[in-house]
Amino acid sequence: MKKIFFILLFLSSCGYQPLYTNQNQKNFAFEKVTLIGDKVLNRKIISALNIKEKKDNDLIDEIILDTNKITRETSKDEKGQVASYRTLISLNLTIKNQNDILKTKSFNEDFSYNTMSNKFDLTEYQREIENNLINKIIDNLIIYLNL
């Protein structure tokens, strides 16, 4: 019992906070936000990161998000039917100040999965995979932008 009390006392007084608390959610503001590629992916990233476009002289000039989603057939069975797929989502981030490029980074996530006999279930599964891959990219992007 004394050990549990000591651990609780230590954790409550050490200043521990979870990494992604809503209280410390940052708003990223740029003079210009340029979106290239998949519109749905861009909207999800912009809304998750709370990126705003503001006309202000002390801000970084421009952020460019170039997104791409590719779903490929990776194998077929003996009948010629698709047996497995691979979905790749990529984001190329560029941060510019006036005409100089400050930062450039590529984020890529992919996932391979087998096909399903029910096409509706397959479509729902692909949508779920896409959301999971986007969330991984967003997590990595938050860490990169906070550094």
Q: What does the pLDDT look like over 64-109, one tens digit per residue?
A: 899 999 999 999 999 989 999 999 999 999 988 877 888 899 999 9
Here the CATH number for the domain that contains residue 85 is 3.30.160.150
Q: Could you tell me the sign of the dihedral formed by the alpha carbons of 46, 50, 55, 60, in that order?
A: negative
Q: Which domain holds residue 103?
A: 24-146
pTM: 0.75
Say if 10 falls within a structural domain.
no
Judge whether 2 lies within some domain.
no
CA 57 to chain centre: 28
Say if 9 falls within a structural domain.
Answer: no
Q: Structural domain tally of the chain?
A: 1
CA gap 63, 49 in Å, rounded: 13
Structure tokens of 145?
């932008």
Domain membership of residue 13 (yes or no) is: no
**Quick one: what percent of the chain has pLDDT higher than 90?**
42
Please check whether residue 104 lies inside any domain of the structure: yes
Task: Classify 84 as helix, strand or coil.
Answer: strand
